C-alpha cells in the first residue's frame, strides 16, 4: 500500500509500507507459511457457468490452515487455479493462481464470494481471506477470497534473479533518492543491469503481466466459484483492477468497492504525468497536512509541534541532501532512508505520532542545543533510529528457503500498463523539475520508473485495456477516497468517480492510504452496500475513528 510507487532500491520498503498501512486497516494476519495446497478432491463442489460460450472448470478446494503455528479454525480452504498464460492462446500453457477462501459464517445466508486485492502492483492477497476489516454481517454472507495475482508470491512469481546474491549485487548499487551525478549514474546503470537480468531470467510470463490479464483471470475465478456476478474490494492499484473489470464485464458487476483510487485514464495513457501528480498532489500534500495538524495538536500530543514545523522539516531534509546523519546508536540516516520512511509513515494514521517523535529526535541530533521546550530536552535520540532503517518486506511472503526471496511483479505490471520514455536519462531531468514543486518527494517519485525505459517487454496494445472507462455497470460502483491519501491523491478518487459510468464517491477526511476499516460510519456503508446493495448517498464526508495525535492519558 508503495504499492503504487517505489524505485528498485526501495521496493521492499514501499512494499512494507503497503503491508503496514493495510494490515493496520484490516487486521490482516501476515505470515510466510500456509503455502497453497496442490489441487485435490473438492470439499465444496462449485458450478461454473460459461461466459461467451467458454466453459470454465470449477475451483477444487482443499481445507487449509492460514497459520499452522495456531490451531486450525477449520473455516479456510486453499486452491491453485490454472489460467491461460496467454489469452490469445487460451488452450496453451497455464499459470496457477493461488487462492484462499474463508467460508461464509452463515451458509444459509450466503450471497456469494467477495474477492479481495490489496494493490501493489505485486501485493500478495492470498492471506487477505483472513482479514477482519469487514463487519460481521459481511463475514456471515460472503466467502472471502484472497488471491495472489499472476506473477505474484505463490502464483508463478515473476523472478528476474536466480539467487538473492545476484539481486543484491544489482540493488546495492542503487540509491533510492539519488542526488549527486555519481549516485544518478550508478542508479541508472544498475537499473539497466536489472532489466537485462529480467530479460534473461523471467521467462514468457513477463510478456503477460498487464492488468487486463489479471482481470481476465479474475473473471475466470468468479465463474469457477459459481458466482454469476462479481463482488470485489480492491485497494490502491486494486482499484485499477476493479475499474478495468467494470468496463470489460459491466453486466457482471454485483458489488464493486474501490478504495485508494488511481486515475485509470491518466495512469494508462501518461505514466510520467501520473507519477508527477502522485508526488505533488499525493505525498507532498499529505506531508504538508501532517505538519499542519501536528502544529495544531501541539506538544506533547505531537512531539514535533514546537516552532515552525514546515521550516524545521525542510531544514532536516536539506541537511540530509548533502550530509547523512550518524545517530548515537551508530546507524546512519540518509536522504533515501529518511524520504522512504516519511513516505511509509504517511500511509497510516497510527504512524503519524511516531513519525513526529522521530523527526524531533533527529532534529535534536542535528541541532543539539537546547530548544523547543521540554519535549526536545527529553526526547530519546533512539526515536530517530527508525529513519535509518529499511522496513522489512512483508508482502512478498516468499518461502524462507527461496534462493531469491522477492519477485518482480511490480515492474512486470507497471511497465506493461503505463507508457514511459525509452531513454533512461530523461528521469534525471525530470527529478530536477519535479522537486521544484515537490521538494521532498519529486526526486523520489521520478526515480520510480527508469526500469520501464529498458523493460524487456514494454507496453503493447494487445496486452492493455486503455478504456473507455464509462461503461454502465449492472450495479453502481462504490468509490472511496481520503482527503489526504499520500499514494493515491484525493483528486484521483474524484477523477475515478467521474470516469466510471455509474458510481458514487464517499470521502473520509484523514491522512492515510485507503479507508475501509478506519471509520465505523464508512464500514456501515460498506456493509449495507455489499449485503443489501444499498448504494451510499453521494457527497458524504466521514471522519475516521482515530485521532492520530491523542491527548495524553491523565
pLDDT beyond 60 at 507: yes
Length of the chain: 554
H/E run at residue 222: helix 211-224
What percent of the chain has pLDDT above 90? 82
In the prediction, which pLDDT does 554 show? 65
Compare 283 and 401 and report the one with higher pLDDT.
283
In the prediction, which pLDDT does 391 show? 55
pLDDT beyond 90 at 22: no
Distance CA 365, CA 156 (A): 46
Tell me the per-residue pLDDT of 69-84, one tens digit each, with 9 for 90 and over: 999 999 999 999 999 9
108 CB-near residues (< 8 Å, 6+ apart)? none
Burial group, residue 38, by CB count within 10 angstroms (0-12, 13-18, 19+): exposed
pLDDT beyond 90 at 43: no
Peptide bond between residue 62 and the one before it cis (omega within 30 degrees of 0): no
Distance CA 58, CA 40 (A): 12
Give the gyration radius of the chain's Cα atoms.
23
**HSE value, Cβ hemisphere, 13 Å, CA-based, for 161:** 18
Going by C-alpha positions, the residue among 506, 508, 516, 511 that lies closest to residue 542 is 508
Mean pLDDT of all residues in 451-475: 92
Rounded (5°) CA angle 224-397-480: 65
Query: With bands split at pLDDT 50, 70 and 90, how would you rate the model's confidence at 45?
Result: very low
Decide if 277 contacts 489 (C-beta within 8 A). yes
CA distances from residue 423 to 307, 351, 453 in whole angstroms, order as listed: 44, 37, 6
pLDDT beyond 80 at 24: no
Mean pLDDT of all residues in 433-441: 97
3 state SS of 478: strand
In the prediction, which pLDDT does 459 show? 76
Tell me the per-residue pLDDT of 148-192, one tens digit each, with 9 for 90 and over: 999 999 999 999 999 999 999 999 999 999 999 999 999 999 999
pLDDT beyond 80 at 66: yes
pLDDT beyond 90 at 90: yes
Distance CA 396, CA 148 (A): 10
DSSP category for residue 54: B
CB count within 10 Å of CB 483 equals 18
In the prediction, which pLDDT does 3 show? 60
Dihedral over Cα of 15, 21, 25, 27: its sign: positive
In the prediction, which pLDDT does 83 show? 98
In the prediction, which pLDDT does 376 show? 42
Grid coordinates in use for 187? 542508479
In the prediction, which pLDDT does 229 show? 98
In the prediction, which pLDDT does 406 show? 87
Compare 459 and 181 and report the one with higher pLDDT.
181
In the prediction, which pLDDT does 370 show? 62
Q: Which residue has the cell 485499477?
A: 240
Decide if 279 contacts 501 (C-beta within 8 A). no
CB count within 10 Å of CB 368 equals 10
pLDDT beyond 80 at 39: no
pLDDT beyond 50 at 483: yes
Distance CA 231, CA 114 (A): 5
Distance CA 16, CA 392 (A): 6
In the prediction, which pLDDT does 396 show? 47
In the prediction, which pLDDT does 378 show? 58
Mean pLDDT of all residues in 521-529: 98
Dihedral over Cα of 391, 393, 395, 400: its sign: negative
Give the least confident one: 38-47, 145-154, 222-231, 249-258. Answer: 38-47
DSSP 413-425: HHHHHS---S-TT
H/E run at residue 97: strand 94-102
Distance CA 98, CA 15 (A): 19
Tell me the per-residue pLDDT of 402-423, one tens digit each, with 9 for 90 and over: 688 889 999 999 999 999 999 9
Distance CA 94, CA 86 (A): 8
In the prediction, which pLDDT does 462 show? 78
3 state SS of 253: strand
**HSE value, Cβ hemisphere, 13 Å, CA-based, for 463:** 22
Q: Which residue has the cell 454472507?
A: 141
Mean pLDDT of all residues in 440-468: 93
Grid coordinates in use for 424? 533512461
Q: Which domains does the chain have, with CATH numbers?
A: 62-157+209-270+463-542 (3.40.50.1820), 159-200+272-369+380-411+420-458 (no CATH)
Mean pLDDT across the chain: 89
Confidence (pTM): 0.91
CA distances from residue 361 to 124, 328, 378 in whole angstroms, order as listed: 34, 11, 9
pLDDT beyond 50 at 424: yes
In the prediction, which pLDDT does 27 show? 45
CB count within 10 Å of CB 7 equals 26
Amino acid at each position: 500500500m508503495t504499492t503504487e510507487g517505489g524505485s528498485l532500491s526501495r521496493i521492499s520498503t514501499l512494499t512494507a509500507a503497503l503491508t503496514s498501512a493495510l494490515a493496520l486497516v484490516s487486521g490482516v494476519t501476515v505470515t510466510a507459511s500456509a503455502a497453497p495446497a496442490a489441487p485435490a478432491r473438492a470439499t465444496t463442489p462449485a458450478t461454473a457457468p460459461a461466459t461467451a460460450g467458454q466453459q470454465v472448470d470449477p475451483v477444487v478446494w482443499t481445507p487449509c490452515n492460514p497459520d499452522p503455528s495456531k490451531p486450525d479454525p477449520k473455516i479456510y480452504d486453499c486452491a491453485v487455479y490454472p489460467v491461460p498464460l496467454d489469452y490469445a492462446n487460451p488452450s496453451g500453457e497455464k499459470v496457477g493462481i493461488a487462492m484462499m477462501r474463508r467460508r461464509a459464517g452463515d451458509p444459509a445466508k450466503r450471497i456469494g464470494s467477495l474477492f479481495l486485492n490489496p494493490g501493489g502492483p505485486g501485493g500478495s492477497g492470498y492471506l487477505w481471506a483472513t482479514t477482519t476489516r469487514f463487519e460481521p454481517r459481511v463475514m456471515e454472507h460472503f466467502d472471502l477470497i484472497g488471491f495472489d495475482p499472476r506473477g505474484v508470491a505463490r502464483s508463478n512469481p515473476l523472478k528476474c534473479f536466480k539467487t538473492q546474491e545476484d539481486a543484491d549485487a544489482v540493488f546495492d548499487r542503487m540509491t533510492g533518492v539519488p542526488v549527486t551525478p555519481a549516485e544518478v549514474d550508478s542508479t541508472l546503470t544498475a537499473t539497466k543491469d536489472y532489466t537485462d537480468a529480467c530479460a534473461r531470467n523471467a521467462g514468457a510470463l513477463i510478456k503477460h503481466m498487464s492488468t487486463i490479464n489479471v482481470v481476465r483471470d479474475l473473471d475466470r475465478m468468479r465463474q469457477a466459484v459459481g458466482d454469476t456476478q462479481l463482488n470485489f474490494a480492491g485497494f490502491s492499484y486494486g482499484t485499477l483492477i476493479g475499474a478495468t473489470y467494470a468496463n470489460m464485464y459491466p453486466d457482471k458487476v454485483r458489488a464493486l468497492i474501490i478504495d485508494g483510487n488511481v486515475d485509470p485514464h491518466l495512469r494508462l495513457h501518461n505514466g510520467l504525468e501520473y507519477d508527477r501528480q502522485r508526488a505533488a498532489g499525493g505525498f507532498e500534500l499529505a506531508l504538508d497536512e501532517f505538519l499542519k495538524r501536528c502544529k495544531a495538536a501541539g506538544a506533547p500530543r505531537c512531539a514535533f509541534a514546537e516552532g515552525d514545523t514546515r521550516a524545521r522539516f525542510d531544514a532536516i531534509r536539506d541537511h540530509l541532501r548533502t550530509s547523512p546523519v550518524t545517530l548515537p546508536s551508530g546507524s546512519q540516516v540518509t536522504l533515501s532512508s529518511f524520504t522512504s520512511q516519511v513516505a511509509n509513515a504517511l500511509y497510516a494514521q497510527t504512524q503519524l505520532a511516531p513519525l513526529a517523535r522521530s523527526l524531533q529526535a533527529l532534529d535534536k541530533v542535528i541541532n543539539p542545543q537546547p530548544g523547543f521546550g521540554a519535549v526536545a530536552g527529553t526526547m530519546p535520540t533512539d526515536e530517530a533510529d527508525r529513519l535509518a532503517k529499511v522496513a522489512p518486506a512483508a508482502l512478498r511472503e516468499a518461502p524462507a528457503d527461496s534462493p531469491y526471496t522477492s519477485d518482480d511483479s511490480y515492474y512486470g505490471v507497471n511497465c506493461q500498463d503505463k507508457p514511459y520514455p525509452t531513454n533512461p536519462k530523461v528521469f534525471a531531468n525530470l527529478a530536477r523539475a519535479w522537486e521544484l514543486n515537490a521538494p521532498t518527494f519529486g526526486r523520489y517519485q521520478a526515480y520510480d520508473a527508469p526500469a520501464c525505459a529498458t523493460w524487456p517487454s514494454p507496453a503493447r496494445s494487445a496486452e492493455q485495456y486503455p478504456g473507455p472507462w464509462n461503461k454502465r455497470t449492472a450495479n453502481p460502483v462504490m468509490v472511496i477516497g481520503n482527503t489526504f491519501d499520500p499514494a493515491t491523491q484525493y483528486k484521483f478518487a474524484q477523477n475515478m468517480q467521474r470516469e466510471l459510468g455509474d458510481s458514487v464517491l464517499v470521502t473520509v477526511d484523514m491522512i492515510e492510504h485507503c479507508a475501509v476499516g478506519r471509520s465505523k460510519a464508512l464500514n456501515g456503508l460498506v456493509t449495507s452496500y455489499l449485503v443489501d446493495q444499498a448504494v451510499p448517498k453521494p457527497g458524504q464526508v466521514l471522519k475516521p475513528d482515530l485521532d492520530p495525535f491523542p491527548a495524553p492519558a491523565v
